[in-house]
Every structure is written in C-alpha cells, then in structure tokens.
Amino acid sequence: MRIVGRYAVYDEIGRGGMAAVHLGRLLGHVGFSRTVAIKMLRPQYAKDPSFVSMFLDEARVAARIAHPNVVHTLDVEATQGELFVVMEYVHGESLSRLMRNARNEKTPIPPPIAASLLSGVLLGLHAAHEAKSVGGEPLDLVHRDVSPDNILVGVDGLAKVADFGVAKARGRLQTTRTGELKGKVAYMAPEQIEGRAVRATDMFAVAIVLWEMLAGRRFFQGTDELTRMRNLLSGSIESPRVHAPGMPEALEAVVMRGLERDPNRRFATALEMATALERAVTPASAIDVAQWLETAAAAALERRSVLLARMEESSHDAFSQPVLSDPEPNESVEEESGDPTRPVPGLAADSQFANRESRIPNVSARPSPRRGRLGILLLVAAIVAVLWAARKKEDAPTAPIASIASVAPAPIEAPSAAPADADVPVESAVPSAAPPHTKGRGRTTRPAAKPEKHDCSPPYTIGSDGLRHYKPECW
C-alpha cells in the first residue's frame, strides 16, 4: 500500500497494455473515505507525451457518459510523478472470467442471464454513442474495444461497460495512426480491421460476446491473430444453435443480424439491438443475475470481500480522526495549517501508512472551538457586568434591613403610598411590608430629613462608585 495525493493505492486487480487497475481508497477530510478503482499509467508510458494525451483523453471522454451501465469516471490525478484515473469500484467479477469458468465447468450461461447482461451493455453503449461535448455537440463516440474483459458484472445484478481507452471520438487529441489497430482482434468487426469504426462496429462485438455466451465456446478458432483476421474477413459464420440446439429462433436471429459483415445490415442503434434482444428472450431480473453471480463466482467474491474489509479497516484506523484539531495555547492556527506536508494527526510512525514521501494536505485551519466558546462567554460576561453596573448606579440598593433596624436615628424610606417629601416615623416603617425603595421608577425616593445638629439629611453620601456611604456622625 502507498499513498499518492489523497488516495491510498492497494493491490492490483487488473492489467492492460499501458495501465494497471488497483483497488484504492479516497482519503477525504474529517475521516471520510470511499473505495474506488484506480487506473494507473505505467511509469514507462508516463513520460511519453503521446501516451499521456491518450490516457487523459480517455478520462475526458468517459466523463461525458452518465449511465448506470457505464463505469463512472470520478477524478484524474497527476501528482508525485504518478498519473492515474479514478473510477467507481464495481464489486463483482469480469464477464471474461465468468465465461471462462462456464467453459471449464461445461455449464453454459442461461439465455435469460445472457440477455439481461448484454441488454444492459447495449444500453450503456447507446448512452456512449449519444454522448455530447460540453458545448452540446455530438462526440460520435465508438468504443472499439467491447469484449468480455471490459464488461463488469456487479453483485447488484448490473453489467457495466468499462475502458474507453481506445474509443474513437470527435475532438480527441490522439487519433489512430495509419496501419494501427485499436481493440482486440477476436472481437473486431470487418470494417474495423480496414481502419473504419462506426456505431455498428460496437454491435458486432456485442454479437460475438453473445454468441460465445450461448454456445459456450470461442467464436473465432485459431491460435494466432492472423488466422482470426482471415476467418473474420472471409470465413463462414455459423449459427450458435449448432452448439446450443435449444436456443430460441428469435434469439438466434438477433445474434446473426448483429454478425452481418455489412454494417448497414446490422441494427441501426444499440438501443434497437437491446430492444430486439429483450423481445427474443425475457431477460433475468437483477435479483436473478445477482444470485447467479454469487454461485458462479463465489470463491472470487469471498476473496475480494476479505480484501476490502481489511483495506477499509486499515484506512479507517489511520484516517478516521478529524484533520481539524485544536492548536496548543502557544501555537497559531496559521502555523498549523501552513505546511501542506504535515502528517495526518493520529498516524502512528510505525504504521504501514506512514510513507515518508507521501503526505495528505491539510484543510484550511479554523479557529479552535474552545477558543470560540471562551470568547462568547467573555463577551456575555462583559455585557452582564455593564448592565449590572448601570442598574446599580440608577437604582442603588439601600443598606441591609438588619443594619437599618440596628441604627435608630437613621430615617427609613417612606412607603410608596406616602408623598415623597412626607416625614415618616421610624416606628411606622415595617421592613417586610414596605420595600426600602421602589424599583422601576425614574427617581429614587429620598428618606425624610430628621432635624439634627449634624447635617444628616440624608445621613449618607453617594460616592463616585454609585454606592451609599453613611456618615459616621449620624450613627
């Protein structure tokens, strides 16, 4: 396992001429991750501009196709000297391995299963043929490499078309050189060998795949490509009923029409061929296909499930902790997030993921949640203090009742029913019945003056702090 950019690259699960497909995990922020398939360009081709352009063309073209029966392209990465395309991971098995297992076990694939799988393939190809550019112009896309290797059957019962690496499309930077063939000879149409490729070329390849699924054997016999090409151009094309006598005649007609050497005599569109196929034999449901797959590829699916479980567990343990962490009191947030090569928090030094040459960039730092809460609390406390001081100044409290009761000469504030300037004897003032002052009024009622030789009217002064200070001589 190694980390490249924001992806963890695991075991290889497929290999092509110029690239290899690996299992991978998208390592997002705050513990988010996702299982993906990573198609990596081989190092010897990554330095060749023509191969790089072809590789990027594939990603750009495939990204224009959105259909459940086409493997989705999710991302393109060019980092640390690596160039790879990130695709959705299809948990299942390739049709080539399923067909090979069926031939080895001499158990032909049931026609309803074959019809369901290839009907989905045709619908995906129709979406590719109808794809448009960003400006809305038709891409005139032709896959040119439809084969069992590039058809994936998922545990959900759906078949998906993959690998548009050699697809012909308008606007592609890389075009086929003169005399150069694109695709596999065993599934090529006659016009493709002659250097032409049209929509019907893909239907010819689908018809070969359908023939092999029903007959339980290879369509072109021969040990070398030259022999296969001769058979394709001039050899006789026999009916699949020769090897599968119980096949419905309507299904045989669909196969033989798809194998017409003249493209104009084949189906006009992939959608038309899919419709004819479903009318010839009732396709199996997705549930039936999923159950058939679990039986036909039980061992492979079990091995893949164990691998996925280990992969997801290891990536979860190392990268599930949030990237955002509280800085130390003497550490600025800017310093924490400024280094894009800072190790991921929680990644042990001896972990299998601790690759010295690979780091995951951190997200933009944010203020610490604890600092934010502390700031809010301080602001609230300051507001409360200001309001309390203002209320204290406006409506200053009198001395405690016990203190007033213990000082006989001190005047008591008049009840609210008496005039503000009325003299009220001390005996008539009951602390529990009349408050020392009335809240909510615009002014404070002053106590009634008591004739004394000292100036005790009132017997206190109000200081700059807003509090009453009683005069010692009035005690």
Q: How far apart are CA 147 and CA 95, in angstroms?
A: 9
DSSP code, position 442: S
What CA–CA distances, in Å, run from 286 to 46, 94, 157?
39, 16, 4
Active site includes 317?
no
Q: How far apart are CA 297 and CA 102, in angstroms?
A: 10
What Cα–Cα distance (Å) separates residue 261 from each residue in 179, 195, 258, 454? 21, 14, 9, 129
Angstrom distance (rounded) from CA 346 to CA 323: 9
Residue with tokens 């009220």: 424
Quote the CA–CA distance of 315 and 1 in Å, as a whole number: 10
Tokens of 440: 């909510």
Taking the C-alpha atoms of 283, 288, 293 and 294 in order, what is their torsion angle to the nearest 10 degrees? 180
- Report the distance separating Cα 140 and Cα 196, nearest Å: 13
The secondary structure of residue 465, as a DSSP letter, is T
Residue 39 marked as a ligand binder: yes
Contacts of residue 427, Cβ cutoff 8 Å, sequence gap at least 6: none
Specify the DSSP class assigned to residue 262: S
Helix (H) / strand (E) element for 251: namely helix 249-258
Question: DSSP label at 407?
Answer: -
Residue 232: both structure tokens together = 């394709």
Catalytic residue among 57, 145, 163, 202: 145
Q: 34 is written with which tokens?
A: 């996702």
Backbone phi, then psi, for 408, in 5-degree steps? -65, -45
Residue 26 DSSP SS3: strand
Residues 6+ apart with CB under 8 A from 153: 92, 93, 94, 95, 98, 117, 159, 289, 293
Provide DSSP, 124-159.
Answer: HHHHHHT-B-TTS-B---B----SGGGEEEETTS-E
Residues marked active site are found at 145
Annotated binding site for ATP: 39
Annotated binding site: 39
